[in-house]
Amino acid sequence: MTTSKPGPLAPFRLTPWFSERVWGRMDLRPWYAETGTTAAVGEAWLTGAQCLVETGELAGRQLGLVAEEFAAELLGPDGGEEFPLLVKLLFPNDKLSVQVHPDDPQAQAMGQPRGKTECWYVLEAEPGATVALGLKAGVTLPMVEAAIADGTLEAQLNHVPVAKGDMIFVDAGTVHAIGPGVVLLETQQTSDTTFRMYDYGRPRELHVAQGLAVTKLTTRAGKVAPQPMDGFTRLIDEQYFTVDRFELAALDEIELLTATAGCLVGLSGTVNVITPDEEVELTAGQAVVLPVSCGQVILEAESDAVLLHCSMPA
């Protein structure tokens, strides 16, 4: 049952949740010194439902439960009871599986609340790093199925070179894969519905029939050009998310509106997120959730800093 907290809900920082993956890394430095596991970690979930609040009066509670109990304050009157954006850092040390996600109608037909459209912001990229993004022109679904069977699916995919600072849109229905040599910040609809179509012979379950059923032969996936705005850079503005980059010099102070559900993600430096009742420190690899009820926050840079604002579109 949803309850209400008197007055605005203050911004709060979350503890990342580390997901072990066969394709992940043992060492996530400089982003994280410790992960709490000796296994390879592929993903650091910054706004997962299981992430714990680590500041303020809600400290120790899971984000999912906070979203249910304080839905109106956190997400707005029409925002539902689930934080709508799952933001992650990805650390591939090997190729990720070739996979595809359903769109909203397809997911809802399967009994899921929503599909999975996502975007990737490239934080690090070694020379020659690529991502696989969509099918080559002329490739048909029977060709995809045959290529999965004979181990040649990679040859049917578009391989796109990537560099630090690139923003890549991946709409639902796009067959895709991430290669090694990159660190990505992924912003996506809150969903973990993934159909693994090909996995290079690794002994993991495949979902070929489900994947083919939601695959789109042509999509809008691709690199997105940054747009200079007044005091920040708009990296992407799509149906399910907007991502803006702020670059602050030491002692800079700016105001940021919190009109829609969202969070700040630190990429470098230290920034204080300030409201009349709360001050929360944000550093690299961390997320601070911005409740809609705040109205606005002040960002005060302790040092030169870069951060992203990942939010629902206005």
Query: Among residues 166, 193, 224, which one ends one of the domains?
Result: 224
Residue-level pLDDT at 314: 87
DSSP character for 59?
T
Counted residue by residue, the chain has a size of: 314
What is the torsion angle, in degrees rounded to the nearest 10, for the CA atoms of residue 107, residue 108, residue 112 and residue 115?
A: 40
Counted domains in the chain: 2
CB 107 within 8 Å of CB 173: no
If one counts every other C-beta atom within 10 angstroms of the C-beta of residue 192, the result is 12
- d(Cα 164, Cα 247) in Å, to the nearest integer? 15
Nearest to residue 12, comparing CAs of 281, 218, 299?
281
Query: Among residues 160, 192, 224, which one ends one of the domains?
Result: 224
Which residues span the domain enclosing 141?
17-50+85-224
- Amino acid identity of residue 170, one-letter, is V
Secondary structure class of 74 (helix, strand, coil): helix
DSSP letters spanning 43-54: EEESS-TTPEE-
Both 301 and 179 in a single domain?
no
Both 102 and 220 in a single domain?
yes
DSSP character for 156?
G
Query: Among residues 197, 224, 251, which one ends one of the domains?
Result: 224
Nearest to residue 96, comparing CAs of 63, 64, 115, 118?
118
194 burial level (CB within 10 Å; 0-12, 13-18, 19+): middle
Residue 11 lies in a domain: no
Both 108 and 253 in a single domain?
no
- d(Cα 204, Cα 202) in Å, to the nearest integer? 6
CATH, residue 126 = 2.60.120.10
Both 172 and 244 in a single domain?
no
Both 214 and 234 in a single domain?
no
149 burial level (CB within 10 Å; 0-12, 13-18, 19+): exposed
Both 235 and 279 in a single domain?
yes
Residue-level pLDDT at 78: 84
Both 176 and 97 in a single domain?
yes
Question: What is the model's pTM?
Answer: 0.96
Both 178 and 33 in a single domain?
yes
User: Any long-range contacts for 145-149 (C-beta under 8 Å, 24+ apart)?
Assistant: 145/208, 145/212, 147/198, 148/197, 148/198, 148/206, 148/208
Both 38 and 109 in a single domain?
yes
107-163 per-position pLDDT tens digit: 999 999 999 999 999 999 999 999 999 999 999 999 999 999 999 999 999 999 999
- d(Cα 263, Cα 309) in Å, to the nearest integer? 6
Residue 78 lies in a domain: no
Both 220 and 239 in a single domain?
no
Residue-level pLDDT at 216: 98
Residue 283 lies in a domain: yes
Both 235 and 220 in a single domain?
no
- d(Cα 302, Cα 304) in Å, to the nearest integer? 7
Nearest to residue 101, comparing CAs of 84, 89, 119?
119
Residue 65 lies in a domain: no
Residue 7 lies in a domain: no
Residue 267 lies in a domain: yes
Residue 80 lies in a domain: no
Residue-level pLDDT at 1: 42
Each of the 314 residues of the chain gets a pLDDT tens digit; together they read 444 444 689 999 999 999 999 999 999 999 999 999 999 999 999 999 999 999 999 999 999 999 999 999 999 988 889 999 999 999 999 999 999 999 999 999 999 999 999 999 999 999 999 999 999 999 999 999 999 999 999 999 999 999 999 999 999 999 999 999 999 999 999 998 999 999 999 999 999 999 999 999 999 999 999 999 999 999 999 999 999 999 999 999 999 999 999 999 999 999 999 999 899 999 999 999 999 999 999 999 999 999 999 999 98
Residue 3 lies in a domain: no
Both 216 and 247 in a single domain?
no
Contacts of 280 (CB under 8 A, 6+ apart): 10, 11, 12, 13, 55, 56, 272, 273, 274, 288
Which helix (H) or strand (E) element contains residue 157? strand 157-161
Which helix (H) or strand (E) element contains residue 196? strand 195-198
Nearest to residue 53, comparing CAs of 41, 43, 67?
67
